[in-house]
Structure 1
Amino acid sequence: MPSEDPRTEIDARYSTEGAAAIPWDRAVDVLATAELFWISTVRPDARPHVTPLPAVWRDGALHFATGPDERKARNLRANPEVVLTTGTNLWDKGFDLVVEGTAVRVTDEDRLRALATAWEDKYGSFWHYDVRDGCFHHGAGHAHVFAVAPRTAFGFGKGEPFSQTRYRFG
């Protein structure tokens, strides 16, 4: 997981003149509080797949869960590269984020228990998970948990001033 702040730069080509880069700590606040993310994966035949899901920011990574037979899980077995996006559906207000990285399965049960607590703290008791056998369990089903540490992220400030900030890790 990234342990240091990223290199942050404004892209003047897509920003209002004089706009400043949005600090990474503001981006982290958005990642930590956003309720919904859109995940983009690639099918084995190279077609894209996008679907909404909840995610939790913890220890420098976004975490999401998926059933092992769901489309995104099958895609990740062939290609673990993903993009997660969040923000608002308004063009002139808000701050959108795009996080690019590699989805890595989390199986350590202590870490999964901490993530299960984080899920329930963020989303409420409907999202209560038990942990066993390296998975989240909810009712009769189980889910694999993945972590995506940002490799590159983009922040889009909307409204005056408009801005595009790039965050590069590593």
Structure 2
Amino acid sequence: MRRTDKEVRDQGWIDAVLTKALFCHLAINGDEYPCLVPMNFVWHEGRLILHSAPDGEKIRSLRKNPRVTFAVETDPELVTHTTACGYGMRYRSVIGQGTARFVEEYEEKNNLLKVLSKKYTSCKVDDFQLDKLAHVILFIITPTSLTGKNSGYPLER
């Protein structure tokens, strides 16, 4: 990272940003071009849990090459100034790399989909029916690297 003064390596800070972020940008090696997809996710036990429809370029590409890069950000805020060069952005972000693994077994898929659902809904989340789970792909990204960046905010969790 060029701006080492903004780099954050504290795992607690990184976990807090990954927990708070509402979506991630997932970069995949596509068929002809790189593929970049915004996705809902949950940070759970040191891994990203994501879900998708069972077909499409993203899934085909992940099956060919499970290595990914991802980015999340929280608290974006435009910083204004009296001159154009004085403008900037405040944000907290995490960029990571890792490997995706598809979840095939019913119990693991059901449990992780409940964890993902709890992040985005206030409804009671019961077990999912087997026929419903057949129409959803769930995958886990285990990071091999994580780097935080804090721009314009006090460094806190």
TM-score (norm 2): 0.77
Q: Give the equivalent residue in structure 1 for 2:152.
A: 159
Q: Give the equivalent residue in structure 2 for 1:168.
A: none
Q: Does residue 37 of structure 1 match 2:24?
A: yes
Change (3 A) 1:20 1:44: closer
1:64 and 1:147 in contact (8 A); partners too: yes
Greater helix proportion: 2
What is the CA–CA distance in structure 1 between the aligned matches of 2:17 and 2:71, rounded to whole Å?
Answer: 11
Q: Give the equivalent residue in structure 2 for 1:147.
A: 140
- C-alpha RMSD of matched pairs (Å): 2.7
Residue 54 of structure 2: SS of its match in structure 1?
A: coil
What is the CA–CA distance in structure 2 between the aligned matches of 1:64 and 1:75, rounded to whole Å?
Answer: 15
Question: What does the per-residue CA deviation read over 1:84-130, in whole Å, with 9 as the maximum and x for residues that have no partner?
Answer: 211045553221111200111112222222212212211115x9882
Q: Give the equivalent residue in structure 1 for 2:101.
A: 104
1:37 and 1:55 in contact (8 A); partners too: yes
Q: Aligned-pair distance for 1:158? A: 0.6
What is the CA–CA distance in structure 2 between the aligned matches of 1:28 and 1:129, rounded to whole Å?
Answer: 27
Task: Give, as a single letter, the amino acid of the residue that structure 1 aligns with 2:71.
Answer: T
Give percent identity, aligned residues only: 24
Q: Does residue 28 of structure 1 match 2:25?
A: no
What is the CA–CA distance in structure 1 between the aligned matches of 2:126 and 2:22, rounded to whole Å?
Answer: 16
Question: What does the per-residue CA deviation read over 1:117-167, in whole Å, with 9 as the maximum and x for residues that have no partner?
Answer: 212211115x9882537x835xxxx121111111011211112679xxxxx
Structure 2: give runs of 5+ residues left out of the alignment. 78-87
Task: Could you list the structure 1 runs, at least 4 aligned residues long, displaced by more than 2 angstroms after superposition.
Answer: 19-22, 88-92, 127-133
Q: Give the equivalent residue in structure 2 for 1:8.
A: none
TM-score (norm 1): 0.71
Structure 1: give runs of 5+ residues left out of the alignment. 1-10, 163-170
Aligned residues: 142
2:22 and 2:41 in contact (8 A); partners too: yes
Task: Give, as a single letter, the amino acid of the residue that structure 1 aligns with 2:103.
Answer: V
Specify which of 43, 55, 62 is matched with residue 48 of structure 2. Answer: 62
Q: Give the equivalent residue in structure 2 for 1:15.
A: 4
